[in-house]
């Protein structure tokens, strides 16, 4: 399951992905409450990957010191 959160105030844009830690299967929201992974059949242990998008800071304006 991937959730993409857009930048709000000081919080940057980020993406959260929830996977089965045994096989890497991308779980959807309804599968998160299951006892076992539907892909590999093992006991469901979750792994969360977070990707943060870095953006550039716009110039503040004014005189640039050289």
Mean per-residue pLDDT, 7-12: 85
pLDDT of residue 9: 83
Q: pTM for this structure?
A: 0.65
Q: What is the pLDDT of residues 10-45, one digit of tens each?
A: 888 999 999 999 999 998 888 888 899 999 999 999
pLDDT of residue 10: 82
DSSP string, the chain: -EEEE--BTTBPPEEEEEEETTT--B--GGGTT-SB-TTT-SB--EEEEEEE---PPPP--SPPP-
In the chain, where the domains are located: 2-52
């Amino acid at each position: 399951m991937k959730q993409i959160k857009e930048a709000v105030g000081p919080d940057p844009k980020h993406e959260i992905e929830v996977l089965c830690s045994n096989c890497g299967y991308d779980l959807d929201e309804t599968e998160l409450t299951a006892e076992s992974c539907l892909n590999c059949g093992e006991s469901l242990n979750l792994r969360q990957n977070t990707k943060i998008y870095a953006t550039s800071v716009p110039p503040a304006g004014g005189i640039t010191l050289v």
